[in-house]
Amino acid sequence: MRSDENSRKDLLEQRNYHATPSDESVGKGSDSPEHHKISMTSYYKSPLHKDEGKIRAMSPSDTSDTPNNDFSEHDQIATPDNGSIPVVPAVRILAMEDDYWSVANAYVSEAQSTSVGSSSAVQPPVWQVETDPLCHSKAFPGIFVFLLSLIVFFRMIMCALLIRHRKHGNLQLAQPAVLAVLLLAGSVSIGGCALLLVHTCDYDTEEDDYTTMALNNQAADIFCLLRDPIILTPLTLAGCILLGRVWRIVLLLTPILQVHDDDEDYGQAMCGCLCGGRLGQRLKRHIMTGLTYLADIHGILGHYCRHHFRDAMRTLMGAILCLRGRRDMDHSHHHHHHHNNTSHNCRQRRKMAASIRRKVPVQQLLWLIFVLMIPQLLLQLCNLVVPPMQEHLQVDQQQQTTYVSTTQTSSSAYPHEDAQLQSTMTATNGFTVTVQTEQWECRTNMGSPWPTYLGIFFTIIPYMATAILAWNSAADLPKIFDEANATTRSLKVLMLAVTIIVPPRITIAVTSSNNPDVTVYLTTMLVFALAMPPCWFVVYPKIWKALQEDSRDRVAIRRLLLRKKQPSMRDYSASHDGTTTGHNTTHNNHNNNSNSAKLALTIGKMYEEMGLHSQSLTLFDDALAVWQVDPMRDKKEQVGGFTKDEIDAFSVSDLECVVQLLISKGRVHGTFNVGDKSGPKAAAQAWLDALEIYELAPARSFVKDRSMLFPTFSGLFVFLKGGKIQDDDKSTFEQNLAKKFVRETKLQGDPVHYTRAVAMLCEVKARLGRYKVALESFEILKQIYDPEEHSAGISEAYGTDRSAQAYSQCALWHMQLGQEDKALEACNYVLNEIMFLMDPKNVLNMCEMLLPILRIYVPRGDEKRMRSLFKKYVIDNYEKHFVKHDKTSPCSPVFKPLMLLLDIRHDPSNFKDFEDIVEWLIEEENGVVPDFLDSVYTKLCWSPNTMTAELCLRVAEQLIARHGDVGDTEALILKGLELCQKADKKIKDKNNTVKLPIAHGMNDPVFSELKVLAVTQNIQWLSEEDGHNSTGLASSLGSKLDLKNLPHAYKKNLRSSEGGSSSNLSPLLARTSLVSFATGSKSADSSRGSRGSRGNDVNMTIPDTTNARNVLRSQLSEISLDSKFRSRIESGFDDIDEFAEEDEGESDRLTEKDRKANLASLVEGESKGGDSLSKGKTTPTVPPGATDDPFADDEESPIMF
C-alpha cells in the first residue's frame, strides 16, 4: 500500500518481543552486519511509578515493570581492548509521563569493523530508540463522544422546531430553509470531531494496561481520508451561509442606510467617513460588489447561453428551411447596431441608485452560497481522489557525537496524530548516538499535508469577509430582520475562543510535547467556536420568538421608528458663520423619518412576498404617520392624510419616502385586495394621493430620481382599463396620463421605464381607433426595447412586461388596418423571438402576450396550435409555479373556459367528458370571470364573457345534435346570451356605438348565433333592447314596472345576483319588480304601508308584500311574455318577506345621501355612495371631464402591477 508498510508490519509483528543480540553476531567482521529490531510496549501508569519525566534503564533479564537502575551520565558501555565489537546487552528504556509511561528496547542497529595494517579499528555501533504512540486516557474517548452526541441532538431539536414553525411570520422573514441548512452544517462538523480520536488503544482488563491499537492500518487511513471533508466542508458551508445572509441584509437595507440630504455639508460627510473608518468602508464596498456579481452570475450565464443558443438556432433554421433572407438579416443587423448605441447611451444616463424593490429570493442566496463553496468542494474532491490522504510513518533522525543525556517528547500539529516518544541513548568511548523519532500523520503520497492547510484557509475566508461586512452594520435595525449584530456577536465569541485556544495549540506543536487528550480537546473547541455561536445568537432568538404564545407576526415598526438615536457626526451642522450650532434636530428628524420609511418599505415588501398583506399595510400606515405632526391637522383640509403645512415642510427625502409608501400601499391594495371589495378603490385612492402630493410639494423641483412615481402611472392605467376609474367618452384623463408618463420617463432616460410609457401611449391611441398613430409610436419602442436586457427590469417595476406585450398588440392594429401579412409576421416574431425570453414564473405576462395572438389565429381555424402554445407557456407554468405552491394568478379564471373552447372548436364531435362539461357549465358561477378582469381583457382584445358565451353556444349545439336534455340546452343558451349582453355593454357606449371594435369582432358573431339559436329552440329571452337605456336587465324591466326605490338588503342581493349569471334571471326580475311599492311608485299609493320616520327625517317605506304580488301580476300582464317565462318570473315572488324583514333592521343606518347613491348605482349605473376623491382638490393630473366619484363598485378582482 505504501513505501513504509513493511516496516510497520515488522513493528507490529515484533510488538512485546524482547531480544538481545545473538551470540553469532558478536565478534563478526565487516561483512556480517546485523540489525536487531526490538520493539517497545506501552503501559498505563502504575501507582508504583511516581518518578515522572525520567529515563530509566534495566537489564533484559528483568521482566518486571519496575525500573531497577537509572541510566545516567555515569553509565558507560565498555569496549574490549582487542578492538572487537563489544558485547552490548539489550537495554530497556522506561519513560514516565503524567498519565502513562512507556518502555523501549535499545539495540545495536549497525556494526562494522575494518582492518588497517597490523591493527584493526572498530567503528562504534549506532544506538537507536523506537517508541509506540501514546494513547488517550481510559475515560476520555467515551466522555468526548457523549458530549458531541448531546450537542448534535440539541441542534437537531432546534432544526425540527425551525421546520415546524417555518410559516410563522417572523421566521418567514429570516428564510428558515437557509437557517435549517446552517444548523445541519454545524451539526455535521461537530459530529465529525469524533474522527480526531484516531489512535485510541484497546485496554486489556487482564493485564491492566494498553497493549494493542484499536484501529488497524486500513481504518486509520479511512479516518484520515474523511477527516477534512467531514469537518472542514460543513464549517465552510456555515461560514458561506453567514456571509450570504449578511450580504442579503446589507443589500436590502442599503437604501435605509444611505440617507442623503442635499443640505449636508461635504466636509462633515468626509469627517464622518474618516471617523467611521475609510478602509473598512472600502473593504465593505468591494466585498459587496464581488458578492453581488457572484449572486447574479447565474443570470449572466443564462443570458449568455440563451443569446448564443438563439443565434445558433436561427442560423441553423435559416440554412435548412431558408426562413430568413438577406434583407431580413441586413435589417436585423442594422436594428441590433442601432439598439446597442441607444442602449449604451441610455445606460450612461441611467442613475445607478439602490432600489427599494430589490429582493433577494432564496434561490439567489443559495446560488451565492454554492459559488462560495466551489473552492472547498473542489479541494475536498481532490483530497478524496488524487492523491488520497493516508496515514504515513514520519521518521526523523538526529546524530550526536558528544555525550548527551536528555528526554524529549514531541507531538504533531494535527489533533489525531499522537506523538511518538523521543529518547536518546548515550555512550562514550567514541560511540555515536542516533535518535530516531517516529510519528504517524495524515498526508498525501506527495509529501506534506497541504490539503489540510489549504482547506483551513478556505474555511477562514468566509468568516473574515462576514466580520468585515457585519461589523457595525445596521446597528439600529430590529433584531427580527437584522442579523448583522447577531453575526457580529458570534464573531466576537469566535475571536475570543481563538485567542484562548490557538496559543496552547501552537505551543504543543512547537515544543514537541505530547498529550493527545489536550490536543483533541483544543482542536474540538476551535470547531465549537465556529459552529456554536451562530446557532445561539442567530437561530435561537428567532425560534424562541416563534414559540412564545404572545408573539405577533409583525414588527413593531412604529415603536422602532420613534426611538431616539444617539447623536453622530451627521447630527451636527455648522451655522452660516461656520460655527457649530449643536444637535441639528430638524436634520436628524429628516434622517430618522427617511430611515423609518425605507425600513417599512423593505420589510413590508418582504411581508408582501410572503402573502402577509395586512401586515404590509400596517407597516406602511405606521411609517406614514411619522410625518403627521401638525397639531391642528384635524381642523385643516388634508390631501392623502397630510395637511398643506406638512406637505410644504417635506424635504426631498421626505417627499420621496411618502410617495413610495403611498405607491406601495396602493400596490398591495390593488394586487391582493386583502379580502376586501374596497381594495381596488383604496389602491386608486393611494395613487391619486401620491400624484397630488407630488404636484403640491415645493420639494418636487429638487427631486433627481423621478422613477419612484412611474408605477403610479401604470397602476392608474390598469384601473382605467378595468373600469375602476371612470373617464369621459374621449378618454381625456387616460390620454393625459399617458402623455405625462412618456414625458417624465423621457427626461429620466431609462429605457426600462421609457419603453413602458411608450407602450402605454400606443395602447391608448389604438383603443381610440388611431391605429396608424399607434404603430408610429410603436416604431420608437422597437428601436429601444431589447427583451433580453429590459424585460426583467420592466416586470420587476410594473408586474408584467408591457413593452413586450406591445409586440402582440401591434398585430391586432395591423389586422384592423387590413394588413394581414404584417399582422401574421408580428405574431411569428413574438412566438419565435420573444416568448422564450420571458420569465416562465410570470404567468400573467405570458397570458397577456398570447391572448392577442389567439384572437388572430382562432378565427382562422388554427385552434389546435393555439391550444398547444397556451398550454406550454401558460397552463404548464401555472401548474409548476403556482399550483404546487398553493398560489393563484389573477388570470387563472380564464384558463378553463378558454381551453375548453379551443378543444370544442378544434374537434366538437370528439369533445371529451362532454356530460361533465355540460354539468359544470350550467352552474351559475362557473366560467364567469370577475368584472374587473373582464373589463381589462375586453379592452385588450377578447372578453372572457365572450369566451364562455361561445363555449355555451358550442356545447348547446352539440346537445341539440346529440338530442340531449332540452332544459340544459335552454339554460346554456340563456347563460350565453346574458354573458354576450354583458360584454356588448362594455364594447358599446351609451349611444350604442361600438367603441372597442377588436373585442366586438369576437363578441358580435357569437351574440348573433345565440339569438338565432334561441329563436329556433323557442326560447323566450328579454333583451336590453326592451328598455330605455342599456344599464342591465333590472333597469330594462324596471322601466316598464316603474321602479323607483329598493329596500337596502334587497338591493345588496340584487347587486350580487346581477353580477352573476343568467340562471338568476327569473328571481332577479321578480325581486326587482317588488320594489315598485316604494315611495314614488305608480301603484304604491294603494298598497304601501308607512313604517314611520327614519334617520334625518327621511321616510323609508317598506312594501306590503301581499298587495305587492297582486300589483306585480297586474303589471306583468301588460307585458307580452311567454306564459312559461312569466311563471318563472312569478316564482321569485315568494322570498320577498325575508328581504323586507332584513331591510327593516338596516334602514336605520341609511342616510338620504346613501339612499340616493345606492339608487343611482343600481338604476343609473353610477358608484355606490362615498365622498368624491377629488372634492376640494386641485390636482393638475385629473382631467376636468372626470366624474365626482370615478370608481365603480363592481365585483372585485386581484390584479398585478
- pLDDT cut 90: percent of the chain above it: 14
Please give the C-alpha separations between residue 1185 and each of 725, 1160, 1188, in angstroms, as whole numbers. Answer: 12, 19, 9
List all residues 6 or more positions away from 426 whose beta carbon is below 8 Å from its beta carbon. 71, 73, 75, 403, 404, 405, 433
Residue 763 has pLDDT above 70, yes or no: yes
In this predicted structure, what is the pLDDT of residue 737?
A: 87
Q: How far apart are CA 502 and CA 517, in angstroms?
A: 16
> For 324, which DSSP code?
S
In this predicted structure, what is the pLDDT of residue 220?
A: 63
What's the full length of the chain, in residues?
1201
Domain residue limits, the chain:
1-132+395-441, 140-198+214-261+367-386+448-551, 631-840+848-873, 890-1024, 1032-1164
Please give the C-alpha separations between residue 1094 and each of 122, 577, 1090, 1148, in angstroms, as whole numbers. Answer: 135, 70, 11, 6
Q: What is the pLDDT of residues 636-686, one digit of tens each?
A: 777 778 888 888 888 887 888 788 888 878 877 776 654 456 667 778 788
Sign of the CA dihedral 1106, 1109, 1110, 1115?
positive
Query: What are residue 437's DSSP bridge partners?
Result: 396
Q: Which of 1081, 1078, 1086, 1093 is nearest to 1048 (CA)?
A: 1078
Q: How far apart are CA 997 and CA 995, in angstroms?
A: 6
Residue 254 has pLDDT above 70, yes or no: no
Q: How far apart are CA 586 and CA 654, in angstroms?
A: 12
Which residue has better confidence, 526 or 52?
Answer: 526
Strand locations in 499-541 (E): none
Q: How far apart are CA 672 and CA 889, in angstroms?
A: 10
Q: What is the pLDDT of residues 1088-1134, one digit of tens each?
A: 333 333 333 333 333 444 555 566 566 556 555 555 555 655 555 54
Residues 900-924 have a mean pLDDT of 87
Sign of the CA dihedral 246, 247, 251, 256?
positive
In this predicted structure, what is the pLDDT of residue 783?
A: 92
- Whether the CB-CB separation of 845 and 792 falls below 8 Å is answered with no
Q: What is the pLDDT of residues 530-565, one digit of tens each?
A: 888 888 888 887 788 777 644 444 444 444 444 434
Q: How far apart are CA 213 and CA 202, in angstroms?
A: 6
Pairing status of strand 119-128 against strand 432-443: parallel
The band of 620, judged by pLDDT with boundaries at 50, 70 and 90, is confident
> For 1026, which DSSP code?
G
Secondary structure element (H or E) that encloses residue 806, with its range: helix 802-816
In this predicted structure, what is the pLDDT of residue 953?
A: 92
Among 257-261, 714-718, 750-754, 1067-1071, name the most confident range. Answer: 750-754
The band of 108, judged by pLDDT with boundaries at 50, 70 and 90, is very low
Each as own residue / partner, the long-range contacts of residues 1170-1176 (CB below 8 Å, 24 or more positions apart, any chain) are 1173/684, 1173/685, 1173/688, 1174/688, 1176/637
Residue 831 has pLDDT above 90, yes or no: yes
In this predicted structure, what is the pLDDT of residue 780?
A: 92
Take residue 798 and report the three cell numbers written for it: 410594473
In this predicted structure, what is the pLDDT of residue 590?
A: 54
Q: Which of 783, 839, 97, 82 is nearest to 419 (CA)?
A: 97
pTM of the model: 0.54
From its phi and psi, is residue 812 left (phi > 0), alpha (psi between -120 and 50) or beta?
alpha
Q: Considering only 27-31, 871-875, 997-1001, 1174-1178, which range has the smallest mean pLDDT?
A: 1174-1178
The band of 1083, judged by pLDDT with boundaries at 50, 70 and 90, is very low
Three-class SS of residue 437? Answer: strand
Residues 8-25 have a mean pLDDT of 36
Summary mean pLDDT of the chain: 65
Q: How far apart are CA 968 and CA 957, in angstroms?
A: 11
- pLDDT cut 70: percent of the chain above it: 50
Take residue 497 and report the three cell numbers written for it: 475562543
Q: Which of 98, 135, 110 is nearest to 211 (CA)?
A: 135
Take residue 430 and report the three cell numbers written for it: 567514541
Which residue has better confidence, 172 or 102?
Answer: 172
Query: Per the CATH hierarchy, to which homologous superfamily does domain 140-198+214-261+367-386+448-551 belong?
Result: Rhodopsin 7-helix transmembrane proteins (1.20.1070.10)
The band of 362, judged by pLDDT with boundaries at 50, 70 and 90, is confident
Take residue 139 and report the three cell numbers written for it: 475515560
Residues 804-832 have a mean pLDDT of 94
Among 222-236, 398-412, 1067-1081, name the most confident range. Answer: 222-236
Residue 702 has pLDDT above 60, yes or no: yes
The band of 774, judged by pLDDT with boundaries at 50, 70 and 90, is very high
Q: Which CATH number fits domain 631-840+848-873: 3.20.20.140, 3.90.850.10, 3.40.50.300, 1.25.40.10?
A: 1.25.40.10
Secondary structure element (H or E) that encloses residue 1023, with its range: none
DSSP-assigned letters across all residues of 368-430:
HHHHHHHHHHHHHHHHHHSSPPEEEEEEEEEEE-S----EEE---SSTT-PPBEEE-----TT
Q: Which of 960, 871, 958, 972 is nearest to 908 (CA)?
A: 958
The burial class, CB within 10 Å (0-12 / 13-18 / 19+), for 142 is: exposed
Please give the C-alpha separations between residue 172 and each of 486, 554, 602, 904, in angstroms, as whole numbers. Answer: 18, 11, 14, 45
In this predicted structure, what is the pLDDT of residue 952?
A: 93
> For 86, which DSSP code?
P
Take residue 326 and report the three cell numbers written for it: 438577406
The band of 424, judged by pLDDT with boundaries at 50, 70 and 90, is very low
CB-CB neighbours of 1019 under 10 Å = 20
In this predicted structure, what is the pLDDT of residue 442?
A: 63
Q: How far apart are CA 802 and CA 757, in angstroms?
A: 9
Q: What is the pLDDT of residues 478-526, one digit of tens each?
A: 555 556 677 777 878 888 888 887 787 777 665 555 567 777 888 888 8
End-to-end, the C-alpha distance of the chain in Å comes to 68
CA of residue 22 relative to chain centroid, distance: 79
Which residue has better confidence, 102 or 599?
Answer: 599
Dihedral pair phi/psi, residue 399, rounded to 5°: -110, 140
In this predicted structure, what is the pLDDT of residue 596?
A: 63
The burial class, CB within 10 Å (0-12 / 13-18 / 19+), for 199 is: buried
Q: How far apart are CA 260 and CA 654, in angstroms?
A: 11
Helices 1065-1074 and 1123-1130, axial angle in degrees (round to 10): 60
